[in-house]
Amino acid sequence: MDDGKPPTDVYSNLGTVFVDDTKAIIFLMYVSFGICPTRSVMLVNSTDDGITWSRPRNITDQVGKDYATHPSPGYGIKKEHEPAKGRLVVCGHGYNDGVGIVLLLSDDHGVTWRHGAFVQGIPFHNNTDGDFAPAECQPVELPDGSLYLVVRNQHQYKYHCKMTMRSFDGGETLPRRYMFLDRSLVEPKISSGLWYHNGTMFYSGPKSETERRRLCIRWSHDYGNTWTSGTEIWGDLAGYSTLMMLPHDTNHLYILYERGVRKYYDQVAFTKIKLSMEKGRNTL
């Protein structure tokens, strides 16, 4: 899709990619601005492993105009466990020009969509530093069927670190009593990578409170309660990142990330990392 050049043409955000493996469909959900006064949530799909893509389908009316969100960078998930096994979950941010996050849900393999949990930002400081402003978010599913999200802390509410949230009802709610500011996951206001596999949660992002620099992968063997100091992937400037593993190869982790020397986005890099085992759990 050629979406032209902002701000004059139509343009799109980065979008969220996700797979329904029971139907062998890859989806990309994104928001399109520009043509219409309303932001439009669009969905394209591929049934041939990404070689060809459908025309965009406008699902704005399904999720509700007020929930026309920016699907976040990274990936969406298909729930593998109850509750709501099979549900597709996409996390988006930037609701109705305020800042907040919303989970978009589908229980019929991506045909129909609705909004689930919504967490609105609180503009304590009139949209400046210090506001509670959850932004770009990456969900994973844990073995008990709950969702765990790392969320960009856009206005550095209290600390220069990630927010984390949980959902125990398949994304219908993100209860306040399970929201945390994880001070060990420092961030310079950025989107981060998250991946869960067999008892290990991997996290990627710049290990800096202020600069997009020093990209590290860290891991947790207790569902995000504590994190290792991690391994540095790129010591110089680095920006957004996302993590993945292949379904039939549990020995490697992949990271796609922005990096550079002059700018943090000189290059987009893709690195394959061999995992090792320590007391029956994966490490780098």
Ligand X SMILES: *[C@@H]1O[C@H](CO)[C@@H](O)[C@H](O)[C@H]1NC(C)=O
Residues 193-252 that bind ligand X (CB under 6 A): 198-199, 250
Indicate the residue among 167 and 200 with the shorter CB distance to ligand X. Answer: 200
Indicate the residue among 32 and 72 with the shorter CB distance to ligand X. Answer: 32
Which residues have a Cβ under 8 Å from the Cβ of 257 and sit 6 or more positions away? 193, 204, 215, 233, 234, 238, 239, 240, 241, 242, 268, 269, 271
**Residue range at the interface with ligand X (CB under 6 A); choices 31-39, 138-146, 216-224, 226-234:** 31-39
**Residue range at the interface with ligand X (CB under 6 A); choices 52-60, 157-165, 187-195, 268-276:** 52-60
Give the chain's end-to-end CA distance (angstroms, integer). Answer: 37
Indicate the residue among 39 and 162 with the shorter CB distance to ligand X. Answer: 39
Indicate the residue among 57 and 214 with the shorter CB distance to ligand X. Answer: 57
Q: Examine residue 110 and tell whether it contacts ligand X (CB under 6 A).
A: yes
Q: How far apart are CA 13 and CA 191, in angstroms?
A: 13
**Residue range at the interface with ligand X (CB under 6 A); choices 49-57, 81-89, 175-183, 262-270:** 49-57
- With helix as H, strand as E and coil as C, how does 93-132 read? ECHHHCCEEEEEEECCCCCCCEEEEEEECECCCCCCCCCE
Tokens of 150: 């790392």
**Residue range at the interface with ligand X (CB under 6 A); choices 37-45, 86-94, 259-267, 268-276:** 37-45
How far apart are CB 221 and ligand X at their closest, in Å?
10
Q: Name beta bridge partners: 31.
A: 41
* Nearest residue to ligand X, by Cβ distance, number only: 54
Which residues have a Cβ under 8 Å from the Cβ of 238 and sit 6 or more positions away? 206, 212, 213, 214, 215, 257, 258, 259, 260, 264
Residue 163 to residues 41, 108, 166, 255: CA-CA distances in angstroms?
Answer: 25, 30, 10, 22
Binding mask 58-97 for ligand X (x = CB under 6 A): x-xx------------------------------------
Binding residues for ligand X (CB under 6 A): 32, 35-36, 38, 40, 43, 45, 54-55, 57-58, 60-61, 110-111, 126, 198-199, 250, 280
